[in-house]
Structure 1
Amino acid sequence: MRILIPLILLSVYSCQLFYQAGVVIWFHANRAYVASVLCENKAKPELKCKGNCQLNKMAKNEDEKGDSTLPSSAQKWVEISPCELVSSEIDFQSFTLFRNYASVNPETYHFRPDYGIFHPPIA
């Protein structure tokens, strides 16, 4: 079961990822059919389209279909701030550059190391 779920997710993701590659492979496999039947420029042989117009049309349709399936909120870029500023005014005169912070209590902290515990191992 632990292997099955990742394999299913990987296959679904791969299908989505390689869908356009499948369209291109189908086009190249059926290029003669596309050029003779589906091509829009059959009457203009000087363009030498050979069905590329149909491939471009199919790719454009797939892109539009993919965009239309997204909800409208996902199509627009929405910028969301993780936090809001309550006040945009900053009083720079209240700031001081140097403050005395008592980070160490000198009554409980010994400034000299205790060398009694640092000794070579006794054999």
Structure 2
Amino acid sequence: MKGALVYILLIATLLPTVSPWGTIAYYHVNKDYIARVLCENRDKPQLHCDGKCYLAKQLKAQQDRQDKETTERVQNTPLLQLFCQANLPFQFRSVLTVLASVEFSAYTFPSYVAPMSGPFHPPQV
């Protein structure tokens, strides 16, 4: 069961990349019919087109369809903004000012308190 699922997913993933090959294979299998009925140059046998004009049209149409689908998919993709950076002023303080404001004791150490504001906070909507 897992093997069948793997093959189905593999074919579904690779189908868009091999679809031009399917068009070419269809042309080679039905070359006589295409040259006799669908070819634009069937009245001019000296050109030796043999349905290549039909193949070129089909491949171009298929490429245009894929380009259009890709463009629509890209345009309809929602934009997700992950980061928001606020322009906060940064203040430099000298080392002596910082050390003078901290009280050191051999017995008690000040407990760390996380800053409530500043550059490390969740984005505000």
SS of equivalent residue, structure 1 residue 27: helix
Query: Percent of counterpart pairs with the same letter?
Result: 32
SS of equivalent residue, structure 1 residue 16: helix
Unaligned runs of 5+ in 2: 76-81, 87-125
Match of 1:59 in 2: 59
Are 2:17 and 1:17 equivalent residues in the alignment?
yes
Give 1:70's aligned amino acid.
T
* Greater helix fraction, Structure 1 or Structure 2: 2
SS of equivalent residue, structure 1 residue 25: helix
Structure 1: 4+ residue segments shifted above 4 A: 1-5
| 1:1-123 alignment, distance < 5 Å | 3=3, 5-72=5-72, 74=74
Aligned length: 94
Q: Distance in 1 between matches of 2:32 and 2:64?
A: 26
Deviations along 1:89-110, one digit per CA (max 9) or x if unpaired, are: xxxxxxxxxxxxxxxxxxxxxx
Q: TM-score, normalised by structure 2?
A: 0.53
Go from structure 1 to structure 2 and tell me whether the alpha carbon gap of 1:45 and 1:62 turns closer, same or farther (over 3 Å shift).
Answer: same
Go from structure 1 to structure 2 and tell me whether the alpha carbon gap of 1:67 and 1:46 turns closer, same or farther (over 3 Å shift).
Answer: same
Task: Report the Cα offset of residue 33 of structure 1.
Answer: 0.2
Go from structure 1 to structure 2 and tell me whether the alpha carbon gap of 1:4 and 1:25 turns closer, same or farther (over 3 Å shift).
Answer: closer
Task: Report the Cα offset of residue 54 of structure 1.
Answer: 0.3
Task: Report the Cα offset of residue 70 of structure 1.
Answer: 2.1
Task: Report the Cα offset of residue 74 of structure 1.
Answer: 2.8
Q: Distance in 1 between matches of 2:11 and 2:62?
A: 20
Unaligned runs of 5+ in 1: 76-81, 87-123
Q: TM-score, normalised by structure 1?
A: 0.54
Task: Report the Cα offset of residue 11 of structure 1.
Answer: 1.6
Give 2:52's aligned amino acid.
N
Higher relative contact order (CA 8 A, sep 6+): 2
Q: Distance in 2 between matches of 1:37 and 1:27?
A: 13
Task: Report the Cα offset of residue 14 of structure 1.
Answer: 2.7
